Amino acid sequence: MTTQRRTFLKTASAAIATTRLPILGANDRVQIGVAGLGGRGNDHIGYYGQIEECRIAAVCDVNQAARERASARIEKAKGYKPSEYADMRELFESKDIDAVSLPLPNHWHALATIWACQAGKDVYVEKPASHNIFESRKMVEAARKYKRMVQVGSQSRSLPHKVQAVQLLREGAIGKVFGARALCFRRRFSIGHTPDEPVPPGVDWDKFLGPAQMKPFSRNKFDYNWHWFWDTGNGDIGNQGVHEMDIALWGLGRTDWPKSVSSTGGKFIWKDDQETPNMQHASLLWEDGELSFDVRNLPTPPEALAPMRGPNYVGNIFFGDLGFMVLDGGGYQIYKSTVGNFVGARGAGAGSKERYEKVAEEKPVAGADTVPHMRNFIEAMKSRDHTKLTADIEIGARSAAFCHLANIAYRTGRVLKLDANGRFINDDEANAMQTRDYRTPYVVPEQV
C-alpha cells in the first residue's frame, strides 16, 4: 500500500469517526457493549437490562471466566447470547455497536474512552472519570473532537432530591454559600498480604495492567482491591469520595481551579498491602470559599447534624451566612439560624442567643439512581446534544481532577499553589504527578 493511500485511509477513518452518528429512530434500540465485567460491570448488565431502549449486544473482559459468566447471565435473562471480546479495541471497532459502557478499573477509564471516541462510539464511563489530571483534559478533548456523548457515572446528578437541593442553594436557601464539607466515611477492613503468584488461567494480566507499569500478579492487585494501589486506583477519595466531591463542586457552583490545596492523613492501624491512606483530610481554598474533604475507613461517629446510617456515612454539608444544608442519599435538611433574646450575655453577641432550626426537609424518591442516569445517556445519544447529559465528561473530569489535586498534595506532603489553568506554581514534582509514566502501547496521547 502506498504512503499516500495509507494517509488517505487514516484521514478518511478519522473523518468517519468524527461524523458518524447512530441511526436511531424513536423505536430503535441502542446496541450497547459492556467492557469490564467485575462487580460494577455486573451491575451495569442488570441496569441496562431494565431499559427497553437498549440491548446489551456485547461483553468484554480480560478474564475469560468473567466473560462467560456475563454472557450466560444475559442469555438466561434475555434469550440471546451477546458477542464476546477479550480485547476492547475489537469491541470498539465493531459496526454492530452504537455505544460502550466502561465499568473498568480507574487506570483504564481515560484510554478506553479516548479509543472508543476515536472509533465513533458514545461512552458511559464509571467514576472517577480519570486516573490523573492530564487524562481529565484529554477525555474532554476527545469527546468534543469526535462529537461523542460521554456520560460519567456520577449518578447523583440524576437524583431528583439532589437536583432540588442544589437549586435551593442557588436560590439562597442558606444565604450566600461559602463552603462545603464532603464526608466519605466508609467502614472498610484490612486487605492483608497476598504473595506474588502465577497469573491465573484465562486472565490476560498485560491487558489488565494496560497503562500501568508491569508488576507480578497478586490477588490484592486484582479484583476490587486494585482501588488501593496508586498505579491502578486513587484511594477512597477517588472511589466513593468522587461522588461527594462532585456534589460539593456542584453545590458551590465552582468551575474554577482553587488557589491552593493541602492534604494530610495516613494509613493507620492496618499493616497490609494497601498503598493509599485510610484516613485523609483535604482542604481546597479559593479567595471566597473553601471545600474540605474527610475520608475515614475506621469507626466514625456522626458529624454535625449529619445522621449516622450504620457503619457508613457519605454526604455533604453546605455552609451559608444564614444557615447550612445537610445533603446525602437519605435526603436533605436545611437549618437556619434563629436569634432569641436572653439575659446576661457578654461580648459581640450580647443580648441574643443563636440556635439552629430545621426549616426544610426532603426524602429521596424510591428507586435506583443509576437506571435514570443511564436513560439520560440514551436520550442524549438520540439528541446528539452533549448538554443534555446530566454528568457530561467535562463535569465528571473536573470532579475527578479535584480528587487528584488532594492526592497529589497528600503524596507531596505540602501546601500546593495553583494558577488559573490548574498548574502548580513553581513545583515541578507536583506537576509531574498530573500525569503518569505510561507503558507502551497503552499510552494516553497528547494529541487525541
Please state, in angstroms and rounded to a whole number, the distance separating the CA atoms of residues 164 and 160.
6
pLDDT at 427 > cutoff 80: yes
| Model pLDDT, residue 86 | 98
| Model pLDDT, residue 352 | 60
Q: Pick the closest to residue 324 from 154, 157, 165 (CA basis).
A: 165
Q: What is the three-class DSSP state of 83? A: strand
What pLDDT digit, counting tens, does each position of 145-156 carry?
999 999 999 999
Q: Which residue has the higher pLDDT, 355 or 196?
A: 196
Q: Are 302 and 330 within 8 A, CB to CB?
A: no
| Model pLDDT, residue 208 | 98
What pLDDT digit, counting tens, does each position of 81-129 carry?
999 999 999 999 999 999 999 999 999 999 999 999 999 999 999 999 9
pLDDT band, residue 439 (cuts 50/70/90):
very high
Grid cell of 301 as nine digits? 461517629
Q: In what order do the strands lie in the sheet with 323-328?
A: 353-362, 331-340, 323-328, 313-320, 177-185, 289-296, 279-286, 260-266, 416-417
Please state, in angstroms and rounded to a whole number, the distance separating the CA atoms of residues 355 and 341.
11
Q: In what order do the strands lie in the sheet with 99-102?
A: 83-85, 54-60, 30-35, 99-102, 122-125, 150-152
pLDDT at 22 > cutoff 80: no
Percent of the chain at pLDDT > 90 equals: 83
pLDDT band, residue 284 (cuts 50/70/90):
very high
Among the residue ranges 219-223, 286-290, 294-298, 301-305, the one predicted with the least confidence is 301-305
Domains in the chain, CATH or no CATH each: 3-157+372-392 (3.40.50.720), 160-365+398-432 (3.30.360.10)
Amino acid at 209: L
| Model pLDDT, residue 17 | 40
The torsion angles phi and psi of 3, rounded to 5 degrees, stand at -60, -40
Q: Please give the average per-residue pLDDT across 296-301, as a whole number.
A: 92
Q: Please give the average per-residue pLDDT across 314-324, as a whole number.
A: 96
CA count, 13 A, side-chain hemisphere, 84: 19
Please state, in angstroms and rounded to a whole number, the distance separating the CA atoms of residues 136 and 183.
23
CA dihedral 247, 248, 253, 259 (to 10 degrees): -140
| Model pLDDT, residue 231 | 98
Q: Evaluate the CA torsion angle 362, 366, 370, 372 in order and state its sign.
A: negative
Q: Are 337 and 173 within 8 A, CB to CB?
A: no
pLDDT at 343 > cutoff 50: no
| Model pLDDT, residue 367 | 67
pLDDT at 341 > cutoff 90: no
Q: Please give the average per-residue pLDDT across 303-328, as a whole number.
A: 85
Grid cell of 217 as nine digits? 500478579
What pLDDT digit, counting tens, does each position of 224-263 carry?
999 999 999 999 999 999 999 999 999 999 999 999 999 9
Q: Please give the average per-residue pLDDT across 183-212, as a whole number.
A: 97
Please state, in angstroms and rounded to a whole number, the distance separating the CA atoms of residues 249 and 254.
5
- DSSP summary character for residue 414: S
pLDDT at 16 > cutoff 60: no
Among the residue ranges 201-210, 289-298, 303-312, the one predicted with the least confidence is 303-312
pLDDT at 348 > cutoff 80: no
The pTM score is 0.91
Please state, in angstroms and rounded to a whole number, the distance separating the CA atoms of residues 333 and 324.
8
Q: How far is CA 124 from CA 84, 159, 291, in A?
A: 19, 17, 28
What pLDDT digit, counting tens, does each position of 368-421 carry?
789 999 999 999 999 999 999 999 999 999 999 999 999 999 999 999 999 999
Question: What are the E-state strand segments in 341-404?
Answer: 353-362
| Model pLDDT, residue 4 | 35
| Model pLDDT, residue 354 | 77
| Model pLDDT, residue 306 | 66
Q: Please give the average per-residue pLDDT across 262-284, as a whole number.
A: 98
| Model pLDDT, residue 299 | 92
Please state, in angstroms and rounded to a whole number, the distance separating the CA atoms of residues 155 and 157.
5
pLDDT band, residue 271 (cuts 50/70/90):
very high
